[in-house]
Structure 1
Amino acid sequence: MAVGKKGKKPPKTECCVSKPRCKRCPIRMLKDGTLPDGMTVKKRRLVTLEGKPVKKKHLAA
């Protein structure tokens, strides 16, 4: 299970734009360097490096 470097919960698929950012926010995880390998954030959404959207079932695997 590729969750992140700390091994906590997987990131959310979309940022909720709350301030302060929650621990699972993909923007915060990108900044902290704890996003799973092969994932990045574009337009507040979690995507693969190829730019395809990530679904919850991909995070669970």
Structure 2
Amino acid sequence: MGKGKKATTAKLPKTKCCASKSKCGRCPLRMMKEGTLPSGYTVKKRVLVRVDGGKVSKKQLQKAA
């Protein structure tokens, strides 16, 4: 039996930065710097926000990723 490839899912950013010194893998600040943040989202005051100013919900974030 052969081994199949696993489907990779996009890592979703956290809604708020935990401010750890080493920056976790889902940190919105780190993702913004790397350019892996979903389009239409940005970070203000360590909190993930939508560019249009709306609230961020995890359901909408999953659709964007």
TM-score class, shorter-chain normalisation, is 0.7 to 0.9
Unaligned runs of 5+ in 2: 1-8
Larger Rg: 2
Identify which of 42, 45, 48 aligns with 1:43.
45
Larger RCO (CA under 8 A, 6+ residues apart)? 1
Q: Name the TM-score, length of structure 1 as normaliser.
A: 0.78
Q: Provide the TM-score with structure 2 as the length reference.
A: 0.74
CA RMSD, Structure 1 to Structure 2 (Å): 1.3
* Aligned residue pairs, count: 55
Moved over 4 A (4+): none
Q: Which runs of 5+ in 1 are unaligned?
A: 1-6
